[in-house]
Chain A
Amino acid sequence: MISELNKNNFNSTNSIIAELKNVTKIFYNRLPVIENLNLTIFKSDFLTLLGQSGCGKTTILKILCGLLRPTNGKVVWPTSTFTNSENNPANLSLVFQDPNLLPWLNVFDNVFLPLKLNNVTFQEASEPISHCLKLVGLYDYKDYFPNQLSGGMKMRTAIARALVTKPKVMLMDEPFGALDEITRFKLNNDLLKIYKKYDLTIIFVTHSVFESAYLSNKIAIISNTPGCLKEIINLSNNSRTDEYRLSTEYSNNCKYISKKLQKYSNENLNE
């Protein structure tokens, strides 16, 4: 069942993957988007950042992977601390909100891209690429170009591209936001399978309470303007299958999370 924990007070013995320390981000000298955010990510976490649209979830993710610089505070990856965008910790993949495929490359070459940029030859790459394409069920479509694919297939290509570098950490920014429910459920299950199989650490951004309750074992609730981490909810990690979606435990979790989310967003409105 749900166990409530204070911010950053984990009894976990897992090693730390990344840490955000007092991170504040201000764009164009306006109101802060994120204020004094502290977040620790442990190995094998499936951490969901949950919050309303525009609360800075994507910004947190971009700061974490080095695409944005925090105005204040720092991002700590073990062994290396960095605050500029040139540094990007190895073994990290990002799946964007949009598939972001290169339109002039077919599915196979899109998945090949991150390896090709690291000077991996075609012979060496073809096996892992085929493996990843089979994993997301797109092996038969490897000659297709992105404009011949459906939205879900494009997203799965993007996931295959993220997996082909064998990352330890995956950052996902509302990857299934634009998909229909059935496709989303299917991809959710696929993602969980991949997560377990490769022992990944996933940081997932979404505004959907249901998705977060289904996927993650930790949910970080982010409040609105400025984005602050309000609470981390731990969920027990039982088997997440389609039956789980119908269980009372799942619906109770959803209810609980959505109440919390509402509470924190109202808090800010009343200020």
Chain B
Amino acid sequence: MFPALIVTLYVTILALLLAVVLGVIVAILIFQFKIVEISLMPYAIILQVTPVIAIAPLIIILVDNTFFAALICAWLVSFFPILSSTLIGLKSVDHNLDDLFKLYKTNRIQKLFFLQLPSALPYFLSGFKISAGLSLIGAIVAEFVTGIGGSSSGLAYIIIESSYRLEIPKMFSALVLIALTGVGIFLIVNLISYIVLRKWHESEKIKEY
């Protein structure tokens, strides 16, 4: 059971990290260059609205390596929330602060790092929370569809296998482990959000009465 957990976790976390890095980079590019928005956004939306369970078999045919196939599935579902929430964050910079930076005659890079990215941080984190849960779902879905056992099988494979063998207790234990993993990811992500925002953002501020 434990090696299976490691496999699932590995796919989940790697997909989430990829989603964070690419989501933020693409959001910045879209925000800075209109042409990127026009050329990328339609594909991003199509990928987002198509259910991952429907794309997964295709990905498995196209990608030989099952690990990469699972990674792509998990990445697909967790990418879009981060992209769209970061983009909204970048766009909703307080216009008064924007004026302030205009008076300081800052260039685009300075404005991005000193104003726009920090403003987008709470938005990004709310997308990150959604994506963290989704990447686990994506990883499980991918394992279900590939259905490949052996050394690289994850928790979802254990569920399939034990359902064929009618090993209900094993099935339950895999299910509970998945749920606990989800809760664990949720707690870690909330902790990150708390550490980053506690000092200044309303959402994580400790109120004193």
Contacts and interface: CB of A to CB of B under 8 A. Distances in A.
B148 to A, nearest CB: 46
Interface in B83-120: 94, 96-97, 99-106, 110, 114-115, 118
Interface stretch (B14-22, B185-193, B200-208): B200-208
A92 B114 CA distance: 21
A85 B98 CA distance: 13
Contact of A67 (B99, B199, B200, B202): B99
Nearest to A106: B199
A263 B106 CA distance: 44
A65 interface: yes
A191 interface: no
Interface stretch (A16-24, A36-44, A96-104, A196-204): A96-104
Nearest to A101: B97
B121 A104 contact: yes
B105 A88 contact: yes
A88 B103 contact: yes
B103 A103 contact: no
A68 to B, nearest CB: 10
Contact of B102 (A67, A98, A102, A104): A67
B201 A103 contact: yes
Contacts of A98: 96
B63 to A, nearest CB: 41
Interface residues of A, number: 25
B200 A104 contact: yes
A117 B110 contact: yes
B105 A100 contact: no
Interface string A226-239: 00000000000000
A103 B96 CA distance: 13
Interface string A83-119: 0011010001010101010111110000001101110
A100 B103 CA distance: 13
Contacts of A106: 199
Interface string A216-244: 00000000000000000000000000000
Interface in B146-177: none
Contact of A102 (B106, B110, B118): B118
Interface string A138-157: 00000001110000000000
Contacts of B202: 147
B106 A67 contact: no
B103 A67 contact: yes
B124 to A, nearest CB: 13
Nearest to A119: B110
A116 B200 CA distance: 20
B205 A117 contact: no
Contacts of B103: 65-67, 88, 92, 94
Contacts of A147: 200, 202, 205
Contacts of B110: 117
Contacts of B102: 67, 85, 88
A118 B94 CA distance: 22
A198 B101 CA distance: 24
Contact of A96 (B100, B115, B118): B100
B114 A113 contact: yes
A104 B118 contact: yes
Contacts of B101: 117
Contacts of A117: 101, 104, 106, 110, 114
Instruction: In the A-B complex, list the 6 residue pairs whose CB atoms are closest, starting with the nearest.
Output: A103-B200, A104-B200, A104-B118, A100-B96, A145-B200, A117-B104
Interface of B: 94, 96-97, 99-106, 110, 114-115, 118, 121, 199-202, 205
Given A88-B105, A104-B121, 7 more contacts: A66-B103, A100-B97, A102-B118, A104-B200, A106-B199, A116-B114, A117-B114
30 contacts: A62-B99, A65-B103, A66-B103, A67-B102, A86-B105, A88-B102, A88-B103, A92-B103, A94-B100, A94-B103, A96-B99, A96-B100, A100-B94, A100-B96, A100-B97, A100-B100, A103-B200, A104-B121, A104-B200, A104-B201, A105-B200, A106-B199, A114-B104, A116-B114, A117-B104, A117-B110, A145-B199, A145-B200, A146-B200, A147-B200
